[in-house]
Chains A and B, each alone.
Chain A
Amino acid sequence: AQSVAQPEDQVNVAEGNPLTVKCTYSVSGNPYLFWYVQYPNRGLQFLLKYITGDNLVKGSYGFEAEFNKSQTSFHLKKPSALVSDSALYFCAVRDDNFNKFYFGSGTKLNVKP
């Protein structure tokens, strides 16, 4: 069965500092991994995905994520955080056998000025 874990409910970082939001996954086949961001009372916005290829994936708004097969991780990163990055971030894995996306529990990112 596919699953995604986001071990941190909340991440606090100062503006200008690098940020990392952690995600680990469990899949039975090839991992198809995604990151989404959600602002209050809004749907989810796609940030980036890993399907195949380079382990470092670059996405929207300066975010990137590193796929690490040995550690089964797909952590989201940004070199310099902005206050406007404060939001709820979801990691997801897609199960092609059942045509579903499985979401992590979400991590609230707080960027303080």
Chain B
Amino acid sequence: GAVVSQHPSRVICKSGTSVKIECRSLDFQATTMFWYRQFPKQSLMLMATSNEGSKATYEQGVEKDKFLINHASLTLSTLTVTSAHPEDSSFYICSARQGALSEAFFGQGTRLTVV
């Protein structure tokens, strides 16, 4: 299947700093990328959907100024957690979709810890 690479896999940052997470589709062009947040022992919570070249669509309750999403090319989307706080600590997962009938392929996730 298609490969989605997410980097970094683990990051620890100080409160008040910003963190950027990259999501790349390695062997296909992703028309749509999704960003999820997963709390321990819970399902995935969709944060936003991004289409290449256009602004991301955020889910209700997700602060767009807090979680900046950029989908600059068909193979790269980034999520920047700005002014991170301990409550932003979580497992963030990206996924990418190739076309209309395609399943979503997932990155390996990023464990963010804000201290």
Tally B residues with Cβ within 8 Å of A. Answer: 24
Interface residues of B in 1-54 (CB under 8 A from A): 1, 4, 6, 32, 34, 42-44, 46, 49, 51
Which chain A residues have a beta carbon within 8 Å of chain B's beta carbons? 32, 34, 36, 41-46, 49, 51, 90, 92, 96, 99-101, 103-106
Q: Which of B61-69, B73-81, B82-90, B103-111 contacts A (4 or more CB under 8 A)?
A: B103-111
Residues on B with C-beta less than 8 A from A104 are 43
Residues on B with C-beta less than 8 A from A105 are 42-43
Instruction: Report the minimal beta-carbon distance from A51 to chain B, rounded to whole angstroms.
Output: 6
Instruction: Report the minimal beta-carbon distance from A44 to chain B, rounded to whole angstroms.
Output: 4
Instruction: Report the minimal beta-carbon distance from B3 to chain A, rounded to whole angstroms.
Output: 11
Residues on B with C-beta less than 8 A from A32 are 101
CB pairs A–B below 8 angstroms (7 shown): A32-B101, A42-B109, A43-B106, A46-B106, A100-B46, A100-B49, A105-B42
Q: When the two chains form their complex, are residues A96 and B100 in contact, meaning their CB atoms are under 8 A apart?
A: yes
Given the contacts A34-B103, A96-B100, A41 and B111 also touching, CB distance less than 8 Å: yes
Residues on B with C-beta less than 8 A from A101 are 34, 46, 95, 104
